[in-house]
């Protein structure tokens, strides 16, 4: 990955992480909020090479014959604190998102990645294949400029456009909403769960182990990553919305909903693969504004069946001897969180819950 070359007078890279254009310059500017890093950088991992038939002609460089295309890789940025814990946090975003999901919140506060650094965890932030800075795809894609901001607002349970839900934890300034809508980014090739899992497993093997943290659509590739790499030591999944896996012969019936996405189905995998999920601790978090019974609010109803499927998934893991927990925050008295709970006004509280869970599972030891 390439270590930073440190001068004789400086043995670490000191960063002030709060000098964000979206936040007051005084936020987190005190010396007590400085982060000391021993290393940081970025790299690509996974992927494949596509080659056109024929022979490359140096005199005809715009013809594809014989040329290659390196694509379908993931892009990773990493930061390692000077004093860090043994296992890093590896972050995978969801649909319409990139690693920006885990960086500064829409209103400019520390995001989960920085909160993790402050708690002593190294962080690896991923742009999945065919998304963001990993946009080089081996398959064609047509990107249409279709206006859809209001769809995302409703689907992510921020409210019913243009009104936020009562007591919402989402920062409700015009600037924060604009920043959030601008972080949405398209696929540059067809979404492929296995392509993503391949790169994620390669990353986990390359770094030698870590705690996988997924969001939304990233949940599906996350389960497959854990089945493909024994270097996934735990999975923390925030509001997985699809891609649930069950052993062959144990897949539940599709769950009906009025969501425009249709009924929610799960995927069958060999029992031998599924049992790999029983070897690691798993915790799944869901926020607020999720219907408890069929609802005419399509977004609340859509997430109703996703929460139900997550509970069936966790029950199946535990039935096979695993350790999976589903946490529905309102049941703990934590209210007002949308689909982007880790980026909202109470994200420090939710991060503290995660640190405690990792401690309880014996996954927070400092590196020697």
Q: What is the pTM of this model?
A: 0.93
Q: Could you tell me the residue ranges of all domains in the chain? A: 39-51+71-360
More confident residue, 296 or 21: 296
Residue 28 reports pLDDT greater than 80: no
From CA 279, how far away is CA 301, in angstroms rounded? 32
Instruction: Give 47's DSSP letter.
Output: E
Q: What does the pLDDT read at residue 33?
A: 81
What percent of the chain stands above pLDDT 90?
A: 91
Question: Contact 67/52 with Cβ under 8 angstroms?
Answer: yes
Give the residue from 220, 42, 209, 214 showing the smallest Cα distance to 112: 214
pLDDT tens sequence across 243-274 = 999 999 999 999 999 999 999 999 999 999 99
Token pair 């950088």 in the structure block, residue: 41
* pLDDT per residue as tens digits for the range 111-123: 999 999 999 999 9
Cβ atoms within 10 A of the Cβ of 125, count?
Answer: 25
Locate tokens 């689907």: which residue? 155
Q: Are 105 and 229 in contact (CB under 8 A)?
A: no
Summarize the confidence of residues 276-281 as an average pLDDT: 98
**Is residue 132 predicted with pLDDT exceeding 60?**
yes
CB atoms near residue 366 (< 10 Å)? 9
Phi, psi of 366 (to 5 degrees): -75, 145
The pLDDT confidence band at residue 170, using thresholds 50, 70 and 90, is: very high
Q: What is the mean pLDDT of residues 301-321?
A: 98
pLDDT given for residue 55 in this prediction: 98
Residue 19 has pLDDT above 50, yes or no: no
| Residue 222 parent element (H or E) | helix 219-228
Considering the chain, what is the average pLDDT of its residues?
Answer: 93
Per-residue pLDDT tens over the stretch 62-76: 999 999 999 999 999
pLDDT of residue 2: 44
Non-local CB neighbours of 166 within 8 Å, separated by 6+ positions: none
Task: Name which of 89, 129, 94 is nearest 241 in CA terms.
Answer: 94
pLDDT in tens, 186-206: 999 999 999 999 999 999 999
| Mean pLDDT, rounded, for 282-305 | 98
**CATH code of domain 39-51+71-360:** 3.40.50.1820
Q: Each residue of 336-358: pLDDT tens digit?
A: 999 999 999 999 999 999 999 99
The per-residue pLDDT for range 210-250, each reduced to its tens digit, is 999 999 999 999 999 999 999 999 999 999 999 999 999 99
How many Å apart are CA 134 and CA 189, to the nearest integer?
A: 10
Per-residue pLDDT, averaged over 320-331, amounts to 98
């Amino acid at each position: 990955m390439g270590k930073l070359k440190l001068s004789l007078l400086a043995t670490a890279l000191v960063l002030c992480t709060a000098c964000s254009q979206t936040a007051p310059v005084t936020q987190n500017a005190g010396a007590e909020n400085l982060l000391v890093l021993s290393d940081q950088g970025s790299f690509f991992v996974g992927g494949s090479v596509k080659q056109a038939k024929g022979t490359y002609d140096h005199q005809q460089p715009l013809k594809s014959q014989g040329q290659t295309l390196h694509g379908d890789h993931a892009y990773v940025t990493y930061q390692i604190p000077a004093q860090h814990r043994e296992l890093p946090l590896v972050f995978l975003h969801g649909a319409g998102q990139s690693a920006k999901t885990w960086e500064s919140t829409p209103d400019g506060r520390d995001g989960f990645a920085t909160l993790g650094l402050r708690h002593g965890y190294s962080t690896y932030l991923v742009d999945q294949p065919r998304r963001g800075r990993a946009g080089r795809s081996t398959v064609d894609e047509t990107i249409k400029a279709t206006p859809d901001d209001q769809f995302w607002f409703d689907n992510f349970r921020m409210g019913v456009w243009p009104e936020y839900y009562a007591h919402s934890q989402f920062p409700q300034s015009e600037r924060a909403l604009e920043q959030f809508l601008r972080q949405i980014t398209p696929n540059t090739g067809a979404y492929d769960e296995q392509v993503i899992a391949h790169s994620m497993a390669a990353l986990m093997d390359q770094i030698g182990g870590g705690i996988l943290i997924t969001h939304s659509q990233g949940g599906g590739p996350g389960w497959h990553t854990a089945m493909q790499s024994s270097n996934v030591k735990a999975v923390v999944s925030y509001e997985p919305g699809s891609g649930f896996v069950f052993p062959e012969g144990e897949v539940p019936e599709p769950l009906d909903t009025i969501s425009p996405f249709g009924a929610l189905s799960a995927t069958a995998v060999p029992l031998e693969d599924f049992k790999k999920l029983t070897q690691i601790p798993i915790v799944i978090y869901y926020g607020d504004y999720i219907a408890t019974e069929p609802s005419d609010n399509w977004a609340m109803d859509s997430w109703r069946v996703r929460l139900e499927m997550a509970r069936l998934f966790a029950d199946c893991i535990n039935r096979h001897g695993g350790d999976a927990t589903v946490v529905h925050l309102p049941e703990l008295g934590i209210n007002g969180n949308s689909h982007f709970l880790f980026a909202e006004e109470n994200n420090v509280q939710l991060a503290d819950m995660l640190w405690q869970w990792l401690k309880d599972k014996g996954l927070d030891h400092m590196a020697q």
